[in-house]
Amino acid sequence: MTKVFPATSMPDRDWWVALWPDPLDVVQLLGVIPEMSVLDLCCGDGYFTAPLAKLVGGKVYALDLDPVMIERAKEEVARLNTSVLKWICADAQDAPQHITEPVDYVLMANTFHGVPDKLGLVEAVRVMLRPNGLFGVVNWRPLPREQTIVLNQPRGPATDLRMSPEALKAVVGPIGFHTIRIQELPPYHYAAIFQRSV
């Protein structure tokens, strides 16, 4: 039976609005450009899915294990008057079974820290990307949870689950990726942008 990754449940939307009031700006900072094909892996309620779809003209696949989150994401995409190529309700590691053509970009925001089989997931991402495709991982900085205050409360995963950029690179790199850059996403996040080796 598939399970939600530990410490990756979708928070109230007001968290993300407080952290990133302009999600379109965030996805552009991550290197997503018009006409790319994108997989929003573990898309949650569509906070990034909808602006991604708007930016790339609907060339987005959106996957989440939770059907309730998929429905919320559909509503958000409709609210922005855009569309996605395919909604996928499945385990993230099974994504290659649902994506029929290689994509240009895989985005995974705020869930990688909870993946039990990180190497297996990175391999699944590599399989889905075209040669030289990009993998963007948004992570909480490895700060103590009590220091990451959003809307007057400590937020994010437990301190021991948080990964530094160096720890993330050590996991992703050996599976056939090299690091393009680390993008700061204040106040408490960073994104690591990886490129699949040919």
What domains are defined for the chain?
Answer: 23-196 (3.40.50.150)
CA distances from 39 to 3, 19, 42, 148, 159 (A): 20, 22, 9, 28, 28
The torsion angles phi and psi of 50, rounded to 5 degrees, stand at -65, -50
Q: Which amino acid is present at 191?
A: A
Give the pLDDT mean for 156-174. 97
Task: Tell me the two tokens of residue 41.
Answer: 């892996």
The pLDDT, as a whole number, for residue 57 is 95
Burial of residue 14 (CB within 10 Å: 0-12, 13-18, 19+) is exposed
| Mean pLDDT of all residues belonging to the chain | 93
What is the structure's pLDDT at 14?
84
**Percent of all residues in the chain with a pLDDT value above 70, rounded to a whole number:** 94
**pTM recorded for the entire structure:** 0.93
